[in-house]
Amino acid sequence: MNPEEHASSIAVVDLTALHENLCRVRKRSHCGAILPVIKANAYGHGAVEVARFLSGANFPGAISMFGVAFLEEGMALRKAGITHPILLMTGCPIGQIPEILRYDLTPVLFDLESAVALSRYAEKRGKIVNVHIKFDTGMGRLGLSPTEASSFVEKVVDQQGICVEGILTHFADADLKDLSFARHQLKAINRIWTNLEKGGVKIPYCHIANSAAIMHFSRAHLNLVRPGLMLYGYSPLEVKTRVQLSPVMQVKSRVIALRRVPEGVSISYGRTYVTPKESVIATVSIGYADGYPRLLSNRGVMLAKGNRVPVVGRVCMDMTMLDVSQVPSLRVGDWVTVIGAEKNKAVWADEVASASDTIPYEILCGIGNRVQRVYLHENA
C-alpha cells in the first residue's frame, strides 16, 4: 500500500539531499572521520533509515561511527542491522551495562564508578569495550573537569576490559559569530590530548566539532567531526553563511474539510480569530500532537498549491485551520505543505521555528510518529 494514499500527514525525506549535505561535510572537514549525529530519531528524519543510507554503498569508508543519546536508540539501530560503531553520548548508567555489551555499543564515560563497573562486567565475559571520555570545558552539562583529565584517564586505561578510543567535549556557543569562548574550549581539549600523549597515553580520536564548527571553525575539526543539524539541511550559525545546504524533509498534511463562511465567524478554541469577511477555511489534519507548535496559532503559514496561506485560530491537537480564500482550486483530499517548498514558494523549518520562538532543531525533532515517513532517492 502506498502510504500517501491514506495518510493524514506525511514527512517526505529526500535521501538525495542527505547525500548532498554529507558531501558538503566531507568537503569542509579537515579530517577523514565523520560521526553523523542521529539521536532523536535522526532529528525527526528516521534514525534507522538514515543510518542504513549513510552506511551503505554510497559512502564507502566515509562514516566512522554514529552518535545517539540513549541506549534505546543504539539498540534500535543494532536490531535494524546497523553494524557501524555507535557512540552513546550521554553516558554509561551502571544498570545498562549488560545491554551495552550485548549490543556492542560504545559508551561515553565521565565517572569512575561506571568505568569500574563496565570494566568488571566486560572482563568477566572476556570482552573489551571501546569507550570515549567526556570533559566539560565550558558547557556545564556533562563531563569531567579538565583538571581531572590525567588522573582519570590513567585510572580508566588501567582497567581491564576497557579500551579508551576517544576523548571529547561539547561546544557551548560555536554557533555565534564571536568564537572567543569556543577557542577557549578548543584550547582546553587540545591541552588534555597533548598532555595524555606526552604521558604515553595514545588515544585515536579527539573530537569537539559540531555542525557550527564544521562550517566556520576549521581549527576545531581535529580528527573526527560530528555533523548534526547541517546534515539535515539547516545552518545553526548566528550569521548567514555561504555554505549551501539542502533541507532533507518536507512535511505535508491533508485537507479534510473546506467551508465557505460569512464575515464574523469565530474559528477554533477561544474564538481568537473571527473572519473579517467572507472566507474559505480549510481544516488540515496536523496539530500540536504531530509536532506543529501551538504557538503558530494565528501566526503560522503553510503552502496550498504554491500559495502562502495563513493559519487562523488556535492550532488544535489534531487539526489546524487555514484561510484559503485565495486558492479556489483547493479540494478536500489535497495536500498542503507544512514544511517545504511548492513552485517558487517555501516554508522551511527555520521559518517555522522563528515564528514559534524556537529553533529548527525543536521543529524537526518534534515531528511525531503519526506523521508517516516516506523516503525518496533518485536511484531508488
State the DSSP string of 228-247.
Answer: -GGGGT----SS--S-----
DSSP assigned state of 268: S
Domain spans of the chain?
15-232, 249-347
Residues forming the active site:
39, 269
* Stretches in the chain below the pLDDT threshold 70: 1-4, 57, 379-380
- According to CATH, the topology of domain 15-232 is TIM Barrel (3.20.20)
In the CATH scheme, what is the homologous superfamily, with its name and number, of domain 249-347? Lyase, Ornithine Decarboxylase; Chain A, domain 1 (2.40.37.10)
Query: The pTM is what?
Result: 0.94
DSSP-based three-state secondary structure for 210: coil
Taking each continuous run of H as one helix and of E as one strand, the counts in the chain are 12, 17
Grid cell of 113 as nine digits: 564508578
Q: What is the pLDDT of residue 380?
A: 45
What Å distances lie between residue 364 and 39, 42, 43, 251, 293, CA to CA? 12, 9, 6, 10, 11
DSSP-based three-state secondary structure for 150: helix
Q: What is the pLDDT of residue 378?
A: 74
Q: Are 279 and 291 in contact (CB under 8 A)?
A: no
Distance CA 232, CA 229 (A): 5
Q: Which residues contact 221 (CB under 8 A, 6 or more apart)?
A: 29, 30, 31, 209, 213, 214
Maximum Cα–Cα distance for the chain, whole Å? 79
Paired strand residues for 108: 132
Distance CA 310, CA 368 (A): 22
